[in-house]
Amino acid sequence: MALLATTSIVIQLLGVHLALITGGGAVATAGSVLVVVVVVVLAWAFGHLVGTPAWAFADVGRAKWHWVLAMTLLFLATDTTIVVVALYYLARVRPRLNDAMRRDPAPSLRRSATR
């Protein structure tokens, strides 16, 4: 009789470990897909965050270093809350930053003025 391997997907959310799913082979596949999706979302959010100039954050009333610090600390703490923060950044903050960069009449002048 063959034994079926049991796989569990466990995350850390706000410092508490939560078991999301426990089961067989399908759970392992779902977990792999979930990891890939999370990595892509995090890379997209952090890449946009790092590539956006600080003046754009100032235009929308945010501080770039707050976002960099928050995302870096959550990543280092391996807390799943970073996914929520990254999704919030992508859905709410990123569009405002993109609008600020589009409507800025002279970004090169602003960059040289902040140095």
Rounded Cα distance, 3 and 59, in Å:
59
pLDDT in tens, 72-82: 888 887 777 78
End-to-end CA distance of the chain: 71
pTM: 0.65
| Domain spans in the chain, listed from the N-terminal domain onward | 7-104
pLDDT in tens, 60-114: 888 999 999 888 888 887 777 788 889 999 999 999 999 988 886 555 555 544 5
Is residue 111 within 8 A of residue 53, CB to CB? The reply is: yes
